[in-house]
Amino acid sequence: MDQDQAFLPPGLAGEEYRAHVRAWLAAHVPAGFLADQADHQAPDLDACRAWEAAMHRGGLAGITWPQAYGGHGLTLREHLIANQEIGRLALPESVNSLGKELAGPIILAIGSEEQKRRYLPPLLEMREIWCQGFSEPNAGSDLAGLRTRATRDGSVWRVNGRKIWTSGAPNAQRCLLLARTGPIEDRHRGLALFAMRMDAPGVTVRPLRQMDGREHFAEVFIDDVVIEADDALGAPDQGWSAAVRVLAIERATNRMYRAWRFENELHHLVRACRLDATLAALIESGTYHRRLAETVVDIDIIKAYVEPVVERLMAGESIGDRGSLMKLHWSEAHQRFAALALELLEQAPPGAAPEVQAARARFQRLYLAARAETIYAGTTEIQLGIIGDRILGLPRERARGGR
């Protein structure tokens, strides 16, 4: 048996499970993967794919999914523990997070038995990467304004439209597509979700260059694309409620390791600053000292949010609109921290130690990536609107529906 398939002795729980995950990661993380280590080299797509497939064989993907669909049949508590351990390490972000954290959960919730068996194992084994086709040029925050149309044509659907900001589309095999089956005036009604093949005739992906030079997201043109009936997820009118569930998951449970990764970043920053006399003096001075201390508080707030969410979900409660609190706090705090880290490291003198220069390169990338964090999965203004309207019950200020 492959060494990483021998991962999960049955019945491990709590701290024993944590020790096992930690030991597995220590033994299997490929050389050069960790962004806070001297030997770091950003891995390419094939290396990320191979690593994530190994993580799945090692028990670290699909942790809560039923074994019948390639999962490991454990609970959200183990999912949280594994995420805490994954977060402690400066690992690359998943190249299939939209599959594992959005498409998978929604397929488990509304897919047929046949669809679960067909889509979920290839997704976990990294044979199929998924992207999320929701946003359109005129439908971002106001998602209910989307115009991509799916028309029934005998036994199949024909789809026409255009999606934008589709993360991971250049590498994806499937797209979780939200399309309109009813009139545009119906807005929330008459929307449907599909599992569209990205290699279907009529799908054209045009990568968009981001400010960090990567081409991670894309425009997706959909011209008379035929989607088989058994690639429609749920009933045609279930599309909006399913989409809202997808977005609630995206805000509340997606990347559960965030607080622990954030802590890894903070410790890396402090370690790097201590290696340089100029930076060491700066972080001991009043203003940076205080701002670093505030970051500790921000991280603890995120941790204090995640742990009860797990308990509530395990008790069968839904998180609903409260997912907005987490999304808002994490994205705003992380963006503030990324700016602080860059501000500090830019003050390193020429000829600073290689570790300091490597940290500066990491935090430059982080700074650029964090600019998007207050936009995707619903902007800061939309989260504030949801909190005001739906949690506080204030009269609606917004004219439009809001993502």
Ligand X SMILES: Cc1cc2nc3c(=O)[nH]c(=O)nc-3n(C[C@H](O)[C@H](O)[C@H](O)COP(=O)(O)OP(=O)(O)OC[C@H]3O[C@@H](n4cnc5c(N)ncnc54)[C@H](O)[C@@H]3O)c2cc1C
CB nearest ligand X: which residue? 140
* 23 vs 46: CA distance, rounded Å: 24
Q: Is 73 left (phi over 0), alpha (psi -120 to 50) or beta?
A: left
Site for ligand X contains 93 (CB under 6 A)? no
- One-letter amino acid for residue 135 of the chain: S
Contact map string, positions 200 to 219, toward ligand X, x by CB under 6 A: -----------------x--
Taking CB under 6 A as the rule, which mask of x and - marks residues 122-141 in contact with ligand X? ---------xxxxx----xx
Question: Which C-beta is closer to ligand X: that of 167 or that of 173?
Answer: 167
Count of residues binding ligand X (CB under 6 A)? 23
Active site residues: 250
The residues, any chain, with a CB within 8 Å of residue 178's CB and separated by 6 or more, are 133, 134, 143, 146, 148, 191, 192, 193, 239, 243
Q: Which is nearer to ligand X, 220 or 306 (CB)?
A: 220
Per-residue burial over 17-27, b if 16 or more Cβ lie within 10 Å, else e, is bbebbbebbee
Toward ligand X, which CB reaches closer, 153 or 212?
212
Alpha-carbon distance of 390 to 379, in angstroms, equals 16
Within residues 11-70, the interface with ligand X by CB under 6 A covers none
Q: Residue 33 and residue 86: Cα distance in Å, rounded? A: 12
Burial string for 258-271 (b: 16+ CB within 10 Å, else e) reads bbbbbbbbbebbbe
Smallest gap from residue 225 Cβ to ligand X (A)? 17
Tell the smallest beta-carbon distance from residue 338 to ligand X (Å).
Answer: 14
Question: How far, in Å, CA of 113 to CA of 108, rounded?
Answer: 9
x/- letters, 159..188, toward ligand X (CB under 6 A): ------xxx---------------------
Among positions 328-387, residues that touch ligand X (CB under 6 A) are 372, 375-376, 378-379, 381-382, 385
The site for ligand X (CB under 6 A) is made up of 131-135, 140-141, 165-167, 217, 372, 375-376, 378-379, 381-382, 385, 398, 400, 402-403
